[in-house]
Amino acid sequence: MNKITILIYCKDRANIIASVTNFIAKKGGNIVYIDQHVDREQDIFFMRLESEFNDKDFCTDNFKTIFKEGLADKFEMKWRVYSSEKKPKMALFISKYDHCLYDLLGRYNSGELNLEIPFIISNHLDLKTIADNFKIPFYHIPVTKSTKQDAEAQQLALLKANKIDFIVLARYMQIISKTLINEYPNKIINIHHSFLPAFVGAKPYHSAYKRGVKIIGATSHYVTEELDAGPIIEQDVTRVTHTHAISDLITKGRDLEKIVLANAVKLHSERKVLVFNNKTVVFS
Amino acid sequence: MNKITILIYCKDRANIIASVTNFIAKKGGNIVYIDQHVDREQDIFFMRLESEFNDKDFCTDNFKTIFKEGLADKFEMKWRVYSSEKKPKMALFISKYDHCLYDLLGRYNSGELNLEIPFIISNHLDLKTIADNFKIPFYHIPVTKSTKQDAEAQQLALLKANKIDFIVLARYMQIISKTLINEYPNKIINIHHSFLPAFVGAKPYHSAYKRGVKIIGATSHYVTEELDAGPIIEQDVTRVTHTHAISDLITKGRDLEKIVLANAVKLHSERKVLVFNNKTVVFS
Amino acid sequence: MNKITILIYCKDRANIIASVTNFIAKKGGNIVYIDQHVDREQDIFFMRLESEFNDKDFCTDNFKTIFKEGLADKFEMKWRVYSSEKKPKMALFISKYDHCLYDLLGRYNSGELNLEIPFIISNHLDLKTIADNFKIPFYHIPVTKSTKQDAEAQQLALLKANKIDFIVLARYMQIISKTLINEYPNKIINIHHSFLPAFVGAKPYHSAYKRGVKIIGATSHYVTEELDAGPIIEQDVTRVTHTHAISDLITKGRDLEKIVLANAVKLHSERKVLVFNNKTVVFS
Amino acid sequence: MNKITILIYCKDRANIIASVTNFIAKKGGNIVYIDQHVDREQDIFFMRLESEFNDKDFCTDNFKTIFKEGLADKFEMKWRVYSSEKKPKMALFISKYDHCLYDLLGRYNSGELNLEIPFIISNHLDLKTIADNFKIPFYHIPVTKSTKQDAEAQQLALLKANKIDFIVLARYMQIISKTLINEYPNKIINIHHSFLPAFVGAKPYHSAYKRGVKIIGATSHYVTEELDAGPIIEQDVTRVTHTHAISDLITKGRDLEKIVLANAVKLHSERKVLVFNNKTVVFS
């Protein structure tokens, strides 16, 4: 049994759903999941579809060719086809905070995440023991103003050598350069410790405290060149009161950050996210 | 332009999605929405689909016939087809509490609810003024042990005469008899003031207080013969603390009841709910 | 039985709590509630206290005098003393949206709000019927650029004549002038339809849609001269997805606005809110 | 500087607050925190108070004596006095599930929990590596029907030898016997994977799935002889839909269990919980 996931978007027009489902059926596929959305403002059609093929000789690469020629080109679709057999490879970038790291590795260990983590990169050595405990290769690549370019070249080499599909910044605390962003467009996931677009930039818990908000949040988004302005994948919030000092906001926020980032990682690795016009479509 | 909504469930098997979409396309329909779900425990396929037909001569009743003969019978589907032109007719049953009534009528007035309310029935006169203010016919049908059967006969006559599609018990506080339930199976919506299945029956806020829960809830469900045990449509909760007396739980609970009931009414009237095996599938 | 509520803030120093409680006890009061907070950043002490006096001759005005002279001056306190017998008087300012109006009047009618509403002011006639139904005097004071000053003079005259304690802007949609703000400092409650400080100003649902947030919110705050930047009293949020159009955000947001505004009104009218440094302390 | 925390409850009567604060002031203490609650149904007064003493010779044990003789006996108070210098000692009981263990140890490591964990007990060896990684002594005490009494004797010996203050069952999966409960009354914290009182007992996620609830929860409570019926410390919930299989509920529930248990542990270890009549008062 071969199972593939297809993600599509294109200009909306009549009969797309029937055309796609008909095409799959004719190629011998059984559709087991379909979800679609039409953005009426932009007039764009989005779809996610899972299909099973019993044919022993089924080949995902062949399917891509006939899908492109027989259907996608006709509708001028942007599309991606994934085989469920190939787990996505995720690189973890960390720094000194351990809460998101523990959380992701705990989930990884328990089988909750359907992905591979070939390695962890950090600009500090503080969390090496954790990587060791979980038996994941750890690369220490310090970053200073003068070494930033070199550091990034090392990172990029590691990413390429390991055929990394996407990067997760688990409180990495460094600005990602244009070069890396362009190599991994909508494939670098960040966790920002505020309810975006409120409190962009550094020290959002301090700003939240100063403004006296009654709810704090965390936001996971794809990294784009503009700081904290990329497409939002997932957000969550929790209540606070005047009794919470900044340190309390930080502690409470950690629980949000962990869960929001883990959810974003799951959605991305299960190929449930499409990006259009700096916004996400997150399929069910 | 004619727009229809199709709800289907049947034993799961290969090619249902492609067969349905293909059938619609061949009849000239453009599918504008599709959502589906497979219950892997029960092996049941569920689908909701919206389709537009430009054909001037399109007739929903004709479509039902060809849909049944050309497709539904073959897959042994349970199915329903609705024309978007026909707004569902909802009867409101109330008693002495006004919060759900004000809430629903406020939404009705503002155009938020896509339905008609031909009349309101109450076993008391307390809320007649509200019905009058909103200019909705109000029938006072008192219910006592001895008159219960008569009262129900009157209710049924009104429901039939007005071609009512579904009934909403907006804190009606009376047990609905088997007769009425059988006339409107999965078409009588109740709001229960607890987080079911906790605190079934009378005085749930008192029970919640006694148990010392830290969260209270409200549940909207279809009425079945077993008390508070019907398929759950919608639930919501709110935090409480030891400082809340029973009267505070009641006040806080009212806000939950209003919103949960309104959401259930919207979901039902937009034909987004399917019931199978005493559980609901609530489409997006 | 006389019951008073005391609100205090002052520079933090040793023995404030014991001094206050001792003072009350010596004057024959039984303290039935006490809540306090110290802002360690600003080094400010805040307290709310309820006390019962059985003395037949108890007089709140006398108590104020001895409280000031015997205690408050010594600690250089800012303080307020309220008799529980005097319900606060609230003026409602509305425009064309009815959801917050219905919600507040429904709660008022059911006895949920411990306050009086002497009148409603609107710059439009659209909602007069609702005021009439609830039998609350309705003043139509149109506001245009040229008549703004006159309109405000009329408003102020009504507020003064009715001894209004605080004003609630239930989606009033007009900028309040400096004059009125200075007459009612931290006594004008607004509801803003976003999760402040995100989306300040006009059309926040449109901005939220454009940014692609996954959660929307509402914020109730005291009006200050800077737009949407006053002390936050209460906030709440709800989840949204890519499937929600702007109109859906508006509909979902209405439910938030109602509840957030109602909670803020309750907190203020129960004298549970203190403002310091553009932030609120909200007592339990 | 000595800081103590006092927890009190007694029959409600006039002047308790003033008497306690006055007593503390006379003994040279500065009250830095006070929170109180009156249960009007039971007519019981509850209080939590923190006080600082600058006296070099201050002795907590002495204070307890004079507090008892000078105040507590007079009001027939149940009371406890804690020195902030003495961190409570917590024993962790685990079995095969690692998510709560990772979560608690991660927080412990980061300094978020103000307590000591002298050891971990498990009836299985599966999670020994995690204890080793965090460098916490691990005792493997298998439990079978025939060895249950012996196992418990071993547990009790360890608890006594280490002067354990309270026990946390981090998904321990074994029924705790009456003997242990009586040794640690309201000092054994359990996490139950449902929104109690719904779904008491084994396999609550299966029951939740079967009932078709739209929200699942987790509950942390003190262990009493009646299964899952002890005083509730903390609860939280999350939304689910018809698309979630039982395995999804289990995965989503793990996140709830972790956070609810961690919050309960924090509240207990910070001496913020009082139990009366099988309910908790949770101070701010």
Distance from CA of C21 to the nearest CA of D (A): 5
* CB–CB contact A21 B18 (8 Å): yes
- The active-site residue, picked from B150, B228, B236, B255, is B228
Res. A96: pLDDT tops 90: yes
Mean pLDDT score of chain A: 96
Are residues D66 and D175 located together in one domain of the fold? no
Res. A10: pLDDT tops 90: yes
Q: What is the mean pLDDT of residues D11-40?
A: 95
Neighbours of chain B (3+ CB pairs under 8 A): A, C, D
Select the residue of B14, B18, B34 nearest A22 (Cβ to Cβ). B18
Strand partners, B276: B279
Res. B1: pLDDT tops 90: no
Q: What is the pTM of this model?
A: 0.96
Res. D32: pLDDT tops 90: yes
* CB–CB contact C21 D24 (8 Å): no
Contact of D211 with chain B, judged by CB distance below 8 Å, is answered with: yes
pLDDT band, very low/low/confident/very high, at A1 (cuts 50, 70, 90) = confident
Contact of D282 with chain B, judged by CB distance below 8 Å, is answered with: yes
- Cα gap C15→D31, rounded to integer Å: 7
Distance from CA of B229 to the nearest CA of C (A): 28
For C178, list phi and psi in degrees, rounded to 5: -55, -40
Contact of B247 with chain A, judged by CB distance below 8 Å, is answered with: no
Distance from CA of A17 to the nearest CA of C (A): 17
- Cα gap A11→A78, rounded to integer Å: 10
Residue A229's pLDDT is 97
Instruction: Give chain B positions within 8 Å (CB) of A284.
Output: 35, 284
Residue D163's pLDDT is 98
* CB–CB contact A18 B35 (8 Å): no
**C83, C114, C142: which is the final residue of a domain?**
C83
Would you please indicate which residues of C are annotated as catalytic (active-site) residues? Answer: 228
Are residues C10 and C95 located together in one domain of the fold? no
The structural domain count of chain C equals: 2
For B63, list phi and psi in degrees, rounded to 5: -60, -40
pLDDT, one tens digit per residue, over B236-280 is 999 999 999 999 999 999 999 999 999 999 999 999 999 999 999
Q: Which amino acid is at D210?
A: K
Select the residue of D22, D35, D38 nearest C32 (Cβ to Cβ). D38
* CB–CB contact C110 B99 (8 Å): yes
Are residues A264 and A185 located together in one domain of the fold? yes
Nearest to C168 by CA among C248, C107, C215, C249: C107
Instruction: Give chain B positions within 8 Å (CB) of C33.
Output: none
Mean pLDDT score of chain D: 96
**C63, C83, C103: which is the final residue of a domain?**
C83
Which CATH number does the domain housing residue A120 bear? 3.40.50.170
Contact of A242 with chain D, judged by CB distance below 8 Å, is answered with: no
Instruction: Say if residues A53 and A2 touch (Cβ distance below 8 Å).
Output: yes
Nearest to B280 by CA among B208, B193, B200, B221: B221
Residue D1's pLDDT is 82
Neighbours of chain D (3+ CB pairs under 8 A): A, B, C
Q: What is the mean pLDDT of residues A40-49?
A: 95
Residue D146 has a CB neighbour count (10 Å cut-off) of: 8
**C83, C109, C141: which is the final residue of a domain?**
C83
Contact of B236 with chain C, judged by CB distance below 8 Å, is answered with: no
pLDDT, one tens digit per residue, over B115-134 is 999 999 999 999 999 999 99
Select the residue of B110, B254, B255 nearest C99 (Cβ to Cβ). B110
CA distances from B37 to A35, B71, B265, B284, D191 (A): 10, 19, 22, 11, 32
- Cα gap B160→A246, rounded to integer Å: 62
Are residues D55 and D168 located together in one domain of the fold? no
Instruction: Give chain C positions within 8 Å (CB) of D48.
Output: none
- Cα gap C159→C118, rounded to integer Å: 9
* Percentage of chain B lying above the pLDDT 70 cut: 100
Contact of B85 with chain D, judged by CB distance below 8 Å, is answered with: no
How big is chain B, counted in residues? 284
Q: Number of CB pairs < 8 Å for B and C?
A: 26
Residue B195's pLDDT is 97
Strand D89-94 versus strand D166-169 pairing type:
parallel
Q: What is the mean pLDDT of residues B164-191?
A: 96
Which CATH number does the domain housing residue A34 bear? 3.30.70.260
Q: Number of CB pairs < 8 Å for A and C?
A: 78
Nearest to D7 by CA among D237, D273, D254: D273
Chain C residue with the nearest C-alpha to that of B109: C98
Contact of C259 with chain B, judged by CB distance below 8 Å, is answered with: yes
CA distances from B187 to B226, B236, B271, B272, D211 (A): 15, 21, 11, 13, 19
Are residues B28 and B76 located together in one domain of the fold? yes
Res. A85: pLDDT tops 90: no
Contact of C45 with chain A, judged by CB distance below 8 Å, is answered with: no
Instruction: Say if residues C171 and C191 touch (Cβ distance below 8 Å).
Output: yes
Q: Which amino acid is at B182?
A: N
Q: Which residues of chain C have pLDDT under 70?
A: none
Are residues B128 and B261 located together in one domain of the fold? yes
Are residues D159 and D224 located together in one domain of the fold? yes
Mutate to test the interface with A, among B8, B16, B34, B238 (most CBs of A within 10 A): B34
Coil, helix or strand at residue C53? strand
Range 127-146 of B in CB contact (< 8 A) with C: 133
Coil, helix or strand at residue C49? strand
Residue B169's pLDDT is 98
**Nearest-5° angle of CA C64, CA C69, CA C73?**
105
Mutate to test the interface with A, among C39, C40, C47, C215 (most CBs of A within 10 A): C215
Strand A89-94 versus strand B89-94 pairing type:
unpaired
Instruction: Say if residues A186 and A172 touch (Cβ distance below 8 Å).
Output: no
Strand D188-192 versus strand D166-169 pairing type:
parallel
Neighbours of chain C (3+ CB pairs under 8 A): A, B, D
Q: Between D84 and D165, where is the model more confident?
A: D165
Select the residue of B40, B197, B231 nearest D245 (Cβ to Cβ). B40
pLDDT band, very low/low/confident/very high, at D142 (cuts 50, 70, 90) = very high
Instruction: Give chain C positions within 8 Å (CB) of D14.
Output: 30
Q: Between C55 and A122, where is the model more confident?
A: A122
* CB–CB contact C214 A196 (8 Å): no
Are residues A240 and A181 located together in one domain of the fold? yes
Secondary structure of chain A in the HEC alphabet? CEEEEEEEEEECCCCHHHHHHHHHHHCCEEEEEEEEEEECCCCEEEEEEEEEECCCCCCHHHHHHHHHHHHHCCCCCEEEEEECCCCCEEEEEECCCCHHHHHHHHHHHCCCCCCEEEEEEECCCCCHHHHHHCCCCEEECCCCCCCHHHHHHHHHHHHHHCCCCEEEECCCCCCCCHHHHHHCCCCEEEEECCCCCCCCCCCHHHHHHHHCCCEEEEEEEECCCCCCCCCEEEEEEEECCCCCCHHHHHHHHHHHHHHHHHHHHHHHHCCCEEEECCEEEECC
Are residues A55 and A194 located together in one domain of the fold? no
pLDDT, one tens digit per residue, over B183-224 is 999 999 999 999 999 999 999 999 999 999 999 999 999 999
Contact of C102 with chain B, judged by CB distance below 8 Å, is answered with: yes
pLDDT band, very low/low/confident/very high, at D85 (cuts 50, 70, 90) = confident
Q: What is the mean pLDDT of residues A128-155?
A: 96
Range 10-29 of C in CB contact (< 8 A) with D: 14-15, 17-19, 21-22, 24-25
Instruction: Say if residues C276 and C44 touch (Cβ distance below 8 Å).
Output: yes
* CB–CB contact A235 C214 (8 Å): yes
Would you please indicate which residues of D are annotated as catalytic (active-site) residues? Answer: 228
- By residue range, what is the domain housing residue A8? 2-83
Res. D235: pLDDT tops 90: yes
Residue D227's pLDDT is 94
Select the residue of D112, D255, D284 nearest A259 (Cβ to Cβ). D255
* Percentage of chain D lying above the pLDDT 90 cut: 97
Q: What is the mean pLDDT of residues A88-109?
A: 96
* CB–CB contact A109 D99 (8 Å): no
* CB–CB contact D102 A98 (8 Å): no
pLDDT band, very low/low/confident/very high, at D63 (cuts 50, 70, 90) = very high
Contact of A41 with chain C, judged by CB distance below 8 Å, is answered with: yes
Are residues D69 and D148 located together in one domain of the fold? no
Residue A108's pLDDT is 96
D259: Cβ contacts below 8 Å, ≥ 6 apart: A255, D103, D236
Strand D116-122 versus strand D138-140 pairing type:
parallel
Are residues D143 and D273 located together in one domain of the fold? yes
Are residues A38 and A139 located together in one domain of the fold? no
* CB–CB contact A213 C197 (8 Å): yes
Strand D78-83 versus strand D89-94 pairing type:
unpaired
Nearest to C19 by CA among C55, C47, C54, C59: C47
